[in-house]
Amino acid sequence: MNTILTLFIFVPILAFILIALNILFSYHKPYDSKISPFECGFLMIPGQTRSAFNIQFYLVAMLFLIFDLEILLIFPVALSLYQISTFGFSIALIFFIILTIGFILEIGSGAISITSSSNLPSYKEIN
C-alpha cells in the first residue's frame, strides 16, 4: 500500500481515537470564570466591547514571521550549497539583498520602532 494513502487513513483514525479518549477521560467541571466571555479572569467593563490595543505588537509579529520564513527558505540552500554551485549561491545572495532592502525600508518607515504605552488613549478618553 502507498505510504501517503496509509497516512490519509491512519492519521484521521488516530485523531478520532485520541479525541474520543480525551472526551471520555477528561475532567470536566466548568466554573463561573471559565464559562464567562473573558476566560482570563478579568471582569468586563459595562458598555465597553473592546479595549485599546497597540497595533505595534501586530506589526512586530508580522515582521517577525516574514523574517522567520526567510530563515526557513534559506535553510535548504545552506544544506545543499556544494550541489547548487555558484548559480545557486548567487540566487541566495540576491534573495538576501532583496530582504535587506525590505528591512531597511521597514526601519526607515518606523514600523519596527516601539513606542511607549503612554501614548495609548485612556479609558476616559475613549468614552
What tens digit of pLDDT does each residue of 92-119 get?
Answer: 889 889 988 988 888 888 777 766 555 5
Determine the average pLDDT of the residues in 40-57: 61
Report yes or no on 121 lying in a domain.
no
- Asked if pLDDT for residue 7 goes beyond 50, the answer is yes
What is the pLDDT at residue 123? 46
Instruction: Give the dihedral of Cα atoms 71, 54, 112, 73; nearest 10 deg.
Output: 10
**Is 81 part of any domain?**
yes
Count of domains forming the chain: 1
Answer whether residue 3 is part of any domain.
no
| Residue 12 included in any domain | no
Would you say residue 85 lies in a domain?
yes
User: Residue 39 falls within a domain, yes or no?
Assistant: no
Length of the chain: 127
Report yes or no: 33 and 41 within 8 Å, Cβ to Cβ.
Answer: yes
Residue 51 DSSP one-character state: -
Q: Is 107 a member of any domain?
A: yes
Q: What is the pTM of this model?
A: 0.44
Closest by alpha carbon to 106, among 68, 64, 54? 64
- pLDDT at residue 59 in the model: 76
